[in-house]
Structure 1
Amino acid sequence: MSVKAEEPRDAPRAPEAAGRKERRKDPGGAWRREPGELAFYPWLLIAYPPISDLAAGEVRPVLPAALGVATFAVLYVLCIRLSFRDRRRAAAVALAGLLAAAFLLLAGPAHNWFYLAPLMTIACGVVLRGRSVYLLLTVLTLALVAVMWYAGASWANISLATWGTAAGGLVVSIVLKLFSVIAELQETREELARVAVAEERLRFSRDLHDLLGHTLSVMVVKAEAVRRLAPRDAEAAARQAADIEAVGREALTEVRAAVTGYRGRGLAAELASARTALADAGIAVTVTVTGERPAPEADALLGWAVREGVTNVVRHSAAGACEIVLEGTTLEIRDDGRGRDGSPLGNGLRGLTERAVALGGTLETHDRDGFLLRVTLP
């Protein structure tokens, strides 16, 4: 049930344009493709009714109408292609031509040609950015109502056409904006992670320098004193050697404390994080803490146990409730999930067992009405 933590991976940079096609690698290693310009070309199938009218000879004259539909399709493709290649000025020119061609075609006698209206607003949603797209969609919708009314369309057809026209451009604009925001958030998260790692490395190196710089200098001076005193004053040399031993033991304790603070956040922080993680996973959590605060090394190890145990509950247990009980230096994490199903302990729990044994403690697991993790320290 253990989950082995993975080191952060360098993710690709966010796309420069909203909705741009980009390959990203997910945690499972599979490639996924964000929607790009190819996602908008199939919408040209909406132009089937006008093409059907042309093929059936229901529109006269055929040649100008066919050239108009072909021009409309080409301008639509240009709008999409140029927009996704960040050629915004050329895309805007193509969009202007598309709108002109659309209203020339919509003014024709065949009412099926109003199916072209959603295509022009989809192109607007792709090409334009910001609030300008909403203003243009409003103008285009009102213009469409006027054109359809002038052409003698029924109010039922007018309402359906205007709804599809407005919704098409609005949905496309919102979706592309959403992809843009997601990309920016992803880039920000990756940058924050890099900054956090850099700051933590700086803190750790600074702590080690502060801890060991003075201590090692003292040990070097006393070692030189031992070397000078050893030939003529063995007793004084022994005192200096004893001082070296005391300073070394003190430095070792301080380094262990520094490394413990580097690798774990402590019991209180891990309990708070566990509450949040379980609540976010929809698992009811109960935390009971009694007794005095454990010693620093025990506090760090119990915090590590909370992190590992709660990670397993969230990722593997399928539990509905979890109980965390801390009595002195005995920690129990119990859930009502499916247990380990006979599978061996994972790397995380094996490593936790080794750390507990190193401090003179024990780690026990039980599969009964769920899964129980118990860590006991002296």
Structure 2
Amino acid sequence: MPSLLPKLPPRGECPKAEAFPGPPANGYAFLPWLLMGTGAVIEVAKGKAGYPWLGGPGILAFAVLYGKVVFRAFDKKRRDERATFVLLGALAAVTYALGLGYGGSWLLFFPLLSLSCGAVLRDKRLGFVIMTLAVSVGVISGIRTGDPWSNMTIAYGTFMSGMVIAALLTLSETVRELRDTRQELARTAVEKERLRFSRDLHDLLGHTLSVIVVKSEAARRIAPRDLDAALGQVADIESVGRQALTEIREAVTGYREGSLATELDRARSALSAAEVEPVVRQSGPPLPAQAEALLGWVVREAVTNVVRHSAANRCDIVVDGTPERVTLTVTDNGKGAPAEPSPAPRIGGTGLKGLTERLAAAGGSLTAGPAPRTGFRVTAELPVDPKDTALDAELTTAPGNG
């Protein structure tokens, strides 16, 4: 039989994730930009540069520092380390030394320095640093060449290199974070639906099967002396089973809404079949559907615990409402707490724990523990007109969702 529970997407996968462009994986995408220094390399190779024994090692130092900086820029943790800024400072020192010493094509190292700054500095410091580099290269170019158009071109190229790269990398990281967030939200939604479905099954089947067992025992017990009464119990078992099938189908599709009156009637029938005297008292104004649905779940779970665990002969169900709040109390005179204790203080089995979370989401509360004299008591309080919209969303999407 195929599972009715939603399938969780594998970790690391997101539906249609390929629609989002991802950032470059590492600094290899920045290495081809080193070709901008080809003119300086040719000058050194042809001996046209003064002091080639300084120019050659300077180019090599620039290339090594540039590679280290851009590779560290793709690792968020390493990008923020002090060593990265030390390397960036050393790269700036080499760039200024080469530009002041040689000028001309050597000034093309400034756009590469700006690119490195844009990859590392992605905060308020970036604008000041890039502007400083652009002005600096313009001034150096003016000193070396005296050509104002050359000054503007190299300054503009330096400014745009840093700003565009910073914008692209920041955008790429934002897209990646949004993709990860989308994936996590999808996983969370599926996990919540799994939790909703498992709790619905617990509350539905736990109560229904308990009623079926109790009525079956009653039919077996009275059959030898009253066949008609036993057949009545069997008919009730058939009715409960059919109703359970309907409720399970509705729980799967998420459309089932509980009715407090219906649950109280079922509680009377289940308690009577278990030879527990039901005493039901209800007062107060009519309740909205959402509040009735939640209180219906409380009645169902509490009565199931009475039938299965209490060994009681009397159960009092009291609904006391006011225009602001409604209180539901289920008290038995049995032997005490349910058989399935929860780690949470004063709360019983899985069902009571789930109900506590449901009522809390709607602005209410649930307490469970020994009654003052003997037996066990469950008390639920709920606003008549909940201000928290979480209740409406929960009951609309999945009734009984905890």
Smaller-chain TM-score bracket: 0.5 to 0.7
Q: CA deviation at 1:7?
A: 5.0
Per-residue CA deviation, residues 125-153 of structure 1 (Å, 9 max, x unaligned), is: 12223121222101111111111112234
Select the residue among 64, 81, 85 that pairs with 2:71. Answer: 81
Is the aligned partner of 1:69 residue 2:53? no
Is the aligned partner of 1:211 residue 2:190? no
Q: Which has the larger radius of gyration?
A: 2
User: In the alignment, residue 95 of structure 1 is paired with which amino acid?
Assistant: L
CA contact 2:23–2:169 (8 Å) conserved in 1: no
Select the residue among 41, 47, 53 that pairs with 1:51. Answer: 41
User: In the alignment, residue 42 of structure 2 is paired with which amino acid?
Assistant: S
Root-mean-square deviation (Å): 2.6
Q: CA deviation at 1:92?
A: 0.8
Question: 2:125 is matched with which residue?
Answer: 132
Select the residue among 188, 192, 197 that pairs with 1:195. Answer: 188
2: distance between equivalents of 1:123 and 1:97? Answer: 12
Which SS does the other structure have where 2:254 is aligned? helix
For structure 1, the residue ranges without an aligned partner over 5 or more in a row are 1-5, 14-23, 263-378
Per-residue CA deviation, residues 191-214 of structure 1 (Å, 9 max, x unaligned), is: 212221121122222222333332
Per-residue CA deviation, residues 203-246 of structure 1 (Å, 9 max, x unaligned), is: 22222233333222221111001111222221111111011111
Relative to structure 1, is the Cα distance of residues 257 and 7 closer, same or farther in structure 2, using a 3 angstrom cutoff?
Answer: closer
Relative to structure 1, is the Cα distance of residues 194 and 9 closer, same or farther in structure 2, using a 3 angstrom cutoff?
Answer: closer
Select the residue among 215, 234, 255 that pairs with 2:248. Answer: 255
User: In the alignment, residue 10 of structure 2 is paired with which amino acid?
Assistant: D
- % identical equivalent positions: 41
For structure 2, the residue ranges without an aligned partner over 5 or more in a row are 1-5, 256-402
The TM-score with structure 2 as length reference comes to 0.56
CA contact 1:68–1:101 (8 Å) conserved in 2: yes
Q: Alignment length, in residue pairs?
A: 245
Q: CA deviation at 1:115?
A: 1.3
Is the aligned partner of 1:116 residue 2:109? yes
Which SS does the other structure have where 1:151 is aligned? helix
Question: 1:9 is matched with which residue?
Answer: 9
Question: 2:343 is matched with which residue?
Answer: none
Relative to structure 1, is the Cα distance of residues 167 and 27 closer, same or farther in structure 2, using a 3 angstrom cutoff?
Answer: closer
Which SS does the other structure have where 1:101 is aligned? helix
Relative to structure 1, is the Cα distance of residues 26 and 55 closer, same or farther in structure 2, using a 3 angstrom cutoff?
Answer: farther
1: distance between equivalents of 2:218 and 2:193? Answer: 38
1: distance between equivalents of 2:97 and 2:15? Answer: 46
User: In the alignment, residue 64 of structure 2 is paired with which amino acid?
Assistant: V
Per-residue CA deviation, residues 41-91 of structure 1 (Å, 9 max, x unaligned), is: 111111101111112222112211222222211211121233335433111
Question: 1:154 is matched with which residue?
Answer: 147
Alignment of 1:182-331 (within 5 A): 182-261=175-254
1: distance between equivalents of 2:160 and 2:11? Answer: 34
Select the residue among 30, 36, 39 that pairs with 2:29. Answer: 39
1: distance between equivalents of 2:15 and 2:250? Answer: 37
User: In the alignment, residue 173 of structure 1 is paired with which amino acid?
Assistant: A
CA contact 2:95–2:109 (8 Å) conserved in 1: yes
Relative to structure 1, is the Cα distance of residues 226 and 179 closer, same or farther in structure 2, using a 3 angstrom cutoff?
Answer: same
User: In the alignment, residue 84 of structure 1 is paired with which amino acid?
Assistant: F
2: distance between equivalents of 1:101 and 1:239? Answer: 97
1: distance between equivalents of 2:17 and 2:176? Answer: 17
CA contact 1:11–1:25 (8 Å) conserved in 2: no
CA contact 1:82–1:90 (8 Å) conserved in 2: no
Question: 2:166 is matched with which residue?
Answer: 173
Which SS does the other structure have where 1:75 is aligned? helix
Question: 2:137 is matched with which residue?
Answer: 144
